[in-house]
Structure 1
Amino acid sequence: MHRGAATNLVSELGNGETIAAISTAVGEGAIAIIRISGDAALEIADRIFRGKSRPADFQSHTQHLGQIIFDGTPIDQAMLAVHRAPSSYTGEDLVEISCHGGMLASARVLEACLQAGARSARPGEFTERAYFNRKIDLTQAEAVIDVIRAQTDLALRSATEQLSGRLGDQFRNLREQLIEILAHVEAAIDFPEEGISPDSIEVVRGRLVSAVARIQDLLATAETGRILREGLRVVIFGPTNAGKSSLLNRLLGFDRAIVSETHGTTRDTIEEPIHLRGIALRLLDTAGLRSPESRIEEEGIARTQRTLATADLRVRVLDGSVARPSDFATGADELLILNKSDLPEHEDWKSTPAIRISCKTGAGLDKFESEIFQRIGGEKLNAEHPLAINARHCVHLQRAAAACDQALRAIDEQATTEMFAADLREALQMFDELLGGGDEDAVRDAIFSQFCIGK
């Protein structure tokens, strides 16, 4: 399914229906917004709105005060805004009703819209219609989700950059570059008597090498994208009663985990989000490592081992006031913390490189946070350009790069022009799918299903 067919897709997918939904969060608030989009949006607004004039007569991008009527009775005073096609979020006639934010009031306004002929919108259907009406590409639709889910200023900045179309523009530029190369090659296929001169082959090779380099530059942002969207998993582990749960509570600023002198208090893995200098982290407190004394504790320790395998950073917490364990060893990928610095340090630890903290007094926590920030490359993340690809982009770019590499091998091995062109077409297909012009309906459905109703 190609973007050229997008004009008829909304009618095909939604049977030309006009949709409505509450676009603001459920609950009490100052204002609730109900959206109506589709060919009959203004007609439905005429049926439920009473003001100085009819919504069908309103100019685009204006709003008007009036009352919402349901079953012949006024149910709320509201502002009604009209955005006429194609200059609206969805590309269709779009009406937005701003009523009072009570749960009952907004529900009644929506009910009035549905009774007047609208259908309840599916999750993400407004943005889906914007996509099919060419208001946005698939990367921008994904960016809407990222804006909503952003946990830090850096993540929000990255999502906003993508929403502006900058990432899609980079994909389109690469696609155009490959099209130019393919056109040059296919001319040789259509006119075999002319062929491709050695000089032209070198030009084609140079352009293709340049395209691969640009693809690799984009792929290099994948890890940054994962960190911005998901946060880094920081796993706190170590023996029982070393202060792991106390450290979690200190970092969070409230008592999330139970702290006790009894060994083995923590059984389940506890996960909580924090922001460290603009970077989202997921802190995981785990069951203490020792010889288990019960089946429950044994399962808790097994969960600790599984959690450690998924960590971006492992923080080992030990008690610096007691002797060093005989089997002590720390890996290069671990951050060693000696807790209880408010007590005299045991001589076993005197020459051990570690960050010394006291969860009781808070001493050393600033240094600990600075070390985490350095370990995760926080300075680099904050300094980098915020545009970063996601997992779907990564898969398609890797396939595009592989197809381009295969095309370069075809040049080196003096393969047929047809084989070279086939590799380029495969790379182009990847960029079509990145922008939403391929045939991957399931992918599009998965993206839009992540939206809330009303978006």
Structure 2
Amino acid sequence: MLADDTIAAISTPPGEGAIAVIRVSGPDAIRVAERIFRPRKAGAVLSERVLHFGSFHRDSEKLDEGLLAVFAAPRSYTGENMAEIHGHGGALVSSRLYEAVLEAGARAAEPGEFTQRAFINGKMDLTQAEAVMDVIRASTPRALKAAQEQLRGRLGDEIEAIRARVLAVVAHLEAYIDFPEEGINPHVGADLLRDIAAIQERITALLDTAEEGRILREGVRLVLCGAPNAGKSSLLNRLLGFERAIVSAIPGTTRDTIEEFASLHGLPFRITDTAGLRETDDVIEREGVERARRAIENADVIVRVIDATETYDLARTENELIVLNKVDLLASRDSLPAQALPVSCTTGEGIRSLVDAIVARTRGANIESPTLAAINARHQSCLVRAQKALAQATEDLAAGRDPELVALPLREALQAVGEVVGLADTEEILGEIFSTFCIGK
């Protein structure tokens, strides 16, 4: 299913750089490139999948010198004719080259349109298309590894295997549907129940990676809270490795939540420093305290920072780690409680042990060697629907209901599983997915 128009976009980030790449895809992609490109050797044939040196022109004006590569369908990223223009980096020169491409017959691409065309033309399934942006956005080695596994088709292969098994069960029932006067043979019914149970087990294994997927894509929500002047901002700076938050002895210095990203033991963390929790008449500080409470409610892990030199209460919630800061100021540490972690944000003492404890506490952090790419929220929604449909089919089959009734939820499960890889896609689903892509991808 090739598109009938030709699209173009600057695929490299804006700003100064060594090169800028403009991608062109569609039936006229190669002709569009030829209209603005003059090879160094006049009359040279533009061989496919070769970098050709020359200059780019708009009418009689020379815009730049650079390289051109052309790819004939279907041997390209999108499965269509493609051209890649490599010019000098820089906002002005790349924009002028891009304008020349548009004037030569292409139109500006929408976000994700190149990858969407690759999906439509069968170059990848929908899980691989989604993995493209996961690779681009990966901020830790583990997140990148999971995204690359999905891009290689590991998740798509597993979904295809599950779908094939559901399809086999549906096909088996078709024979009984053709002969409605006959009920399902008890022996066959038992086999079908075992097949459905095996399918449910495989889907459950994938659903178990949903939390892992959220963590890899969004980061663990880690919130630092506590009384004013306990050392929350100092701890944030220690975890980040640079001075991000203002540190002051004046209570109430942090009046709003500060969120920063950090990689701890290869896991992505979104660390939020909050305003000191206390009653206050200051309107602005009161709003900061309220925001701190909301952040705590949504946290995966809470680190409550306590000033070890003051009187303190060690009561805590389930996801809360207690940190006793400023232990370097204590005359004696004999009475420090075992359930709290002693640290000094001034000297760095105890920070490594705290990081170990945070990672150990993180839900879904056991991802040393993931065997499959972790599913995202869309995959999870589809697979949950499939599980519910399979459960209904199991109930109907065990109750001895007619084959037509058993087949209905099985077909629903087949539809839901197919949506994961795009075999049962809708225009709305595709629009939602590819709208999150960057232009040029």
Superposed pair shares fold, TM > 0.5: yes
Residues 341 and 358, structure 1, Cα contact 8 Å, conserved in 2: yes
Which residue is 1:3 aligned to?
A: none
CA RMSD of aligned residues (A): 1.7
Which residue is 2:49 aligned to?
A: 61
Q: 1:389 to 1:345 in 2, by over 3 A?
A: farther
How far residue 195 of structure 1 moved from its aligned partner, in angstroms, is 4.2
**What is the correspondence of 1:72-221 to structure 2 with a 5 Å cutoff?**
72-221=60-209
Which residue is 1:33 aligned to?
A: 21
How far residue 350 of structure 1 moved from its aligned partner, in angstroms, is 3.1
Distance 2:333 2:324 in 1: 13
How far residue 322 of structure 1 moved from its aligned partner, in angstroms, is 1.5
Which residue is 2:392 aligned to?
A: 406
Q: 1:354 and 2:340 equivalent? A: yes
Residues 221 and 389, structure 1, Cα contact 8 Å, conserved in 2: yes
How far residue 331 of structure 1 moved from its aligned partner, in angstroms, is 2.2
* Aligned residue-pair number: 440
Q: 1:349 to 1:287 in 2, by over 3 A?
A: farther
Q: 1:253 and 2:268 equivalent? A: no
| 341, 346, 355: which one aligns with 1:369 | 355
How far residue 263 of structure 1 moved from its aligned partner, in angstroms, is 0.9
Residues 323 and 347, structure 1, Cα contact 8 Å, conserved in 2: no
How far residue 53 of structure 1 moved from its aligned partner, in angstroms, is 5.7
Q: 1:369 to 1:439 in 2, by over 3 A?
A: closer
Which residue is 1:394 aligned to?
A: 380
The runs of 4+ residues in structure 1 deviating greater than 4 Å are 345-349
- Aligned identity (percent) is 49
Residues 203 and 383, structure 2, Cα contact 8 Å, conserved in 1: yes
Q: 1:380 and 2:370 equivalent? A: no
Distance 1:118 1:296 in 2: 52
Which residue is 1:420 aligned to?
A: 406
Q: 1:434 and 2:410 equivalent? A: no
Residues 23 and 82, structure 2, Cα contact 8 Å, conserved in 1: yes
Structure 2: tracts of 5 or more residues without a match: none
Which residue is 1:292 aligned to?
A: 280
Distance 2:114 2:210 in 1: 28
Q: 1:388 to 1:406 in 2, by over 3 A?
A: same
How far residue 386 of structure 1 moved from its aligned partner, in angstroms, is 5.1
Letter of the structure 1 residue corresponding to residue 163 of structure 2:
R
Which residue is 2:326 aligned to?
A: 340
Q: 1:208 to 1:35 in 2, by over 3 A?
A: same
Structure 1: tracts of 5 or more residues without a match: 1-6
Distance 1:334 1:101 in 2: 49
Residues 184 and 400, structure 2, Cα contact 8 Å, conserved in 1: no
Letter of the structure 1 residue corresponding to residue 340 of structure 2:
A
Distance 1:66 1:351 in 2: 73
Residues 320 and 346, structure 1, Cα contact 8 Å, conserved in 2: no
Q: 1:139 to 1:380 in 2, by over 3 A?
A: same
Deviation string, structure 1 residues 330-349 (Cα, Å, up to 9, x no partner): 22321000000111168895
Distance 1:253 1:378 in 2: 25
How far residue 359 of structure 1 moved from its aligned partner, in angstroms, is 0.8
Which stretch of the first structure deviates more once superposed, 62-71 or 235-244? 62-71
Secondary structure of the residue aligned to 1:408 is helix
Q: 1:449 and 2:435 equivalent? A: yes
Distance 1:47 1:323 in 2: 77
Deviation string, structure 1 residues 328-385 (Cα, Å, up to 9, x no partner): 5222321000000111168895345211011111111111111112112687222333
Which residue is 1:45 aligned to?
A: 33
Residues 322 and 346, structure 1, Cα contact 8 Å, conserved in 2: no
Letter of the structure 1 residue corresponding to residue 22 of structure 2:
I
Distance 2:128 2:336 in 1: 55
Letter of the structure 2 residue corresponding to residue 301 of structure 1:
V
Letter of the structure 1 residue corresponding to residue 193 of structure 2:
R
Secondary structure of the residue aligned to 1:381 is coil
Distance 2:29 2:369 in 1: 46
Letter of the structure 1 residue corresponding to residue 393 of structure 2:
A
Which residue is 1:313 aligned to?
A: 301
How far residue 324 of structure 1 moved from its aligned partner, in angstroms, is 2.3
How far residue 73 of structure 1 moved from its aligned partner, in angstroms, is 1.9
Deviation string, structure 1 residues 284-326 (Cα, Å, up to 9, x no partner): 000111121312121111111110000000000001112225x
Letter of the structure 2 residue corresponding to residue 37 of structure 1:
S
Distance 1:384 1:26 in 2: 35
| 250, 253, 258: which one aligns with 1:270 | 258
Q: 1:386 to 1:178 in 2, by over 3 A?
A: closer
Letter of the structure 1 residue corresponding to residue 308 of structure 2:
G
TM-score in terms of structure 1 length: 0.93
Which residue is 2:315 aligned to?
A: 329
